[in-house]
């Protein structure tokens, strides 16, 4: 049957990409349908119940700055929060939260169910409705035809999913969920480049069978960090500890002896797995000289005994899993509640996408999340938000949008994927961004919320909060710059004890904060009152302390933008550019970038090579 209502956007899949896509489309006013296998698994974390971490928290905070759900759900579901790299510079600081998977899922579902313009429907999508070359809707498993102007596909690990435990395998989307076979077949008939990737998960363990007394406890930070710019500690549920233990030589021997029944090492699995989240068998093989590997023992929630032993993801046969788990300190009596497994699935070459995440071959069809070759909830959520916005913008005949590399990690990720494609699961790292000092997790709102408001993504509540913070920051910066401390006054004496040499002349408070020995807390209330807004205070401190570096990076960005539009003529003879490697010449001749900016994104291109092109261009004129 044809469903009577027409939609602007249909999103297939209620995982991390799908939920952000559906919410973003609905937020900007598109009539949206979220079509998913099972309403009970909306926002389900397939693997580790944790959000954020290095590079990833930057994406979460960018989603949040654009009023997405991930950070807010994390604040409501997070049971242990830490800031990683807290002692390093702000560019690489990263908030990470262990979540109660039930509370997290409930928070996502509640945000979805309360979103205006959004309807949810439970059923598998089996096919796409086409109108000529364009997508025009979706056909479900039971033949219901939903019509829409744009469709966002976010099927995660489900397309052609095959689960492996040892040499046994079966079809599955993830443990306990069916795969998407028909839709995968249908997409393989379309002109997309499809390949296989794999990922894996560890066995889960019953906490009642674990001896925590021999493990290192790892509490969360105090005060407890928050993930959302709108978040507060009051929202957090009870906080708990994680623990640390280690594998040992016996564990490694058990694994080595089981490799003849490993689907990875016997060639049964063909897909490439995540390099930065390897299975324990992969780690033993790649780092043969290491006699132990860390295992983070993480609770799956407040109302369950299940533990997630982070670091021993495996697809070895169950008997080997049992033996290896029980060889680990504290796990000698462990009861496994769920076996670890690996999953192979279809993904599409992201080079077949535009920066808006619309596919090049089928107008109106957008891809987001794991199906684009990425791994991780955060990477998926960020793509979902972008695809959802652009799908809705297309249907509502509004301008499309995507952030540049110097504006957001979302921009870095999408540009990396589209320019270079990927042959292994892509995850975000701060090292992928050229402008790390500008793209910090703490300033994601300052980078994106105003744009999000213009696009219609940011609601009134967040906008009001953001404006208040920005105002507080500006006023505080002004106050600090115009408040002076004079030598040999009581204020100066308070500072002298912290300084290497006493103040020899008058300084304003802003300049004092720039000193390495001093911070905002030492200086702000010397004269007048420090700003109450904690986020505004943090921003003021970072902006002052790192102003030199930040300004230099802004200059680089300005220079890059000026070059951005420098055209490279079609007949540019790269052979004539002396100093350029033959490899780069070949790539440039093959790809024929239209501008210097495009050339700069070719893999292997260096700033030195760009300068050579610039010099040659100038000589031609």
Contacts to ligand FAD by CB under 6 A: 12-18, 35-38, 41, 46-47, 124-125, 154-158, 173-174, 177, 180, 183, 199-201, 274, 277, 313, 343, 369-370, 375-377, 380, 427
Phi-psi region at 52: left, alpha or beta (left = phi > 0; alpha = psi -120 to 50): left
- In angstroms, how far is the first alpha carbon of the chain from the final one? 64
Beta strands, E only, 368-421: none
Tell me which residue of 87, 58, 61, 62 sits closest to 75, measured CA to CA.
61
Q: Cβ of residue 194: shortest distance to ligand FAD, in angstroms?
A: 15
**Residues flagged as binding site for NAD(+):** 273-287
CB of 6 to ligand FAD, least distance (A): 19
Shortest reach from residue 181's CB to ligand FAD, in Å: 9
Q: Least CB distance from residue 273 to ligand FAD, whole Å?
A: 9
Binding residues, by number, are: 13-18, 273-287
**Taking the complex as a whole, how short is the minimal distance between the CB of residue 179 and ligand FAD, in angstroms?**
8
Residue among 523, 402, 501 nearest 455 (CA): 402
Beta carbon of residue 369, minimum distance to ligand FAD (angstroms, whole number):
2
Going from the C-alpha of 601 to that of each of 70, 562, 607, the distances in angstroms are: 30, 16, 10
Ordered DSSP codes for 556-590: HHHHHHHHHT-B--TT--GGG-TT--HHHHHHHHH
What is the largest distance, in Å, between two alpha-carbon atoms of the chain? 85
Looking at beta carbons only, is 112 or 512 nearer to ligand FAD? 112
Whole-angstrom Cα distance, residue 313 to residue 327? 15
Closer CB to ligand FAD, 200 or 456, in the complex: 200
CB of residue 95 to ligand FAD, shortest distance in Å: 16
Q: Based on CB atoms, which residue is closest to ligand FAD, 174 or 462? A: 174
Q: Report DSSP state, residue 242.
A: E
| Secondary structure class of 404 (helix, strand, coil) | coil
| CB nearer to ligand FAD: pick between 251 and 372 | 372
Burial of 394 (0-12, 13-18, 19+ CB in 10 A): buried
Quote the CA–CA distance of 453 and 39 in Å, as a whole number. Answer: 30
Relative orientation angle of helices 444-455 and 460-482, to the nearest 10 degrees: 140
Nearer to ligand FAD, 124 or 254 (CB): 124
Binding residues for FAD: 13-18
Report the DSSP beta bridge partners of residue 121.
Answer: 35
Cα–Cα dist 550/547, whole Å: 5
Closer CB to ligand FAD, 121 or 549, in the complex: 121
Q: How far apart are CA 207 and CA 594, in angstroms?
A: 58
For the purposes of burial, counting CB atoms within 10 Å of the CB of 28, is it exposed (0-12), middle (13-18) or buried (19 or more)? buried
Q: Which is nearer to ligand FAD, 138 or 512 (CB)?
A: 138
**Of 228 and 374, which CB lies nearer to ligand FAD in the complex structure?**
374
What's the closest the beta carbon of residue 102 comes to ligand FAD, in angstroms? 16
């Amino acid at each position: 049957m044809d469903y009577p209502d027409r939609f602007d956007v249909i999103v297939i899949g209620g995982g991390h990409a799908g939920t952000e896509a559906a919410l973003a489309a609905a937020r900007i006013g598109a009539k949206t349908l979220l079509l998913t296998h099972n309403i009970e698994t909306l926002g389900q974390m397939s693997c580790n119940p944790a959000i954020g971490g290095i590079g990833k928290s930057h994406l979460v905070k960018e989603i949040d700055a654009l009023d997405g759900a991930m950070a807010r759900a994390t604040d409501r579901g997070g049971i242990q929060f830490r800031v990683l790299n807290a002692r390093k510079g702000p560019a690489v600081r990263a908030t990470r939260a262990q979540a109660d998977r039930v509370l997290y899922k409930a928070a996502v579902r509640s945000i979805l169910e309360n979103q205006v313009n959004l309807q949810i429907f439970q059923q598998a999508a089996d096919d796409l409705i086409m109108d000529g070359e364009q997508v025009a809707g979706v056909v479900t498993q039971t033949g219901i035809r939903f019509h829409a102007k744009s469709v966002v596909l976010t099927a995660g690990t489900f397309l052609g999913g095959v689960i492996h435990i040892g040499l046994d395998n079966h079809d599955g989307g993830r443990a306990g969920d069916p795969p998407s076979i028909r839709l995968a077949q249908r997409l393989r008939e379309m002109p997309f480049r499809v390949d296989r990737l794999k990922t894996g998960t560890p066995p889960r363990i019953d906490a009642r069978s674990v001896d925590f007394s021999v493990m290192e406890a790892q509490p969360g930070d105090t005060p407890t960090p928050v993930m959302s710019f709108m978040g507060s500690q009051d929202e957090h549920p009870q906080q708990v500890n994680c623990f640390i233990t280690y594998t040992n030589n016996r564990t490694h021997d058990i694994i080595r002896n089981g490799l003849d029944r490993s689907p990875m090492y016997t060639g049964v699995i063909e897909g490439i797995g995540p390099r930065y989240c390897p299975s324990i068998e992969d780690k033993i093989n790649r780092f043969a000289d290491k006699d132990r590997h860390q295992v983070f023992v993480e609770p799956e929630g407040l109302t369950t005994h299940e533990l997630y032993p982070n670091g021993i993801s495996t697809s070895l046969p169950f008997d080997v899993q049992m033996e290896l788990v029980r060889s680990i300190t504290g796990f000698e009596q462990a009861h496994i509640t769920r076996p670890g497994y690996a999953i192979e699935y279809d993904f599409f070459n992201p080079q077949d996408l535009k920066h808006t995440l619309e596919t090049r071959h089928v107008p109106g069809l957008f891809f987001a999340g794991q199906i684009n070759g990425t791994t991780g909830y955060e990477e998926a959520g960020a793509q979902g938000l972008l695809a959802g916005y652009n799908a809705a913008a297309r249907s509502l005949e509004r301008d499309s949008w995507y952030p540049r590399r110097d504006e957001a990690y979302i921009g870095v990720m999408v540009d990396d994927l589209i320019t270079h494609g990927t042959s292994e699961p892509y995850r975000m790292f701060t090292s992928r961004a050229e402008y790390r000092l500008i793209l910090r997790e703490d300033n994601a709102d300052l980078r994106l919320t105003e744009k999000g408001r213009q696009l219609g993504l940011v609601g009134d509540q967040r906008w009001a909060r953001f404006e208040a913070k920005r105002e507080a920051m500006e006023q505080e910066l002004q106050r600090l710059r115009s408040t002076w401390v004079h030598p040999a006054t009581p204020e100066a004496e308070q500072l002298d004890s912290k300084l290497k040499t006493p103040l020899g002349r008058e300084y304003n408070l802003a300049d004092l904060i720039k000193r390495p020995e001093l911070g905002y807390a030492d200086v702000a209330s010397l004269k007048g009152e420090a700003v109450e807004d904690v986020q505004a205070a943090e921003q003021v401190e970072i902006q002052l302390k790192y102003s030199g570096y930040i300004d230099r990076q802004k200059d680089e960005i300005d220079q890059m933008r000026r070059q951005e539009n420098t055209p490279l003529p079609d007949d540019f003879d790269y052979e004539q550019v002396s100093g350029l490697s033959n490899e780069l010449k070949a790539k440039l001749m093959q790809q024929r970038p239209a501008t210097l900016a495009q050339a700069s994104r070719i893999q292997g291109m260096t700033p030195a090579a760009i300068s050579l092109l610039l010099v040659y261009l100038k000589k031609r004129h």
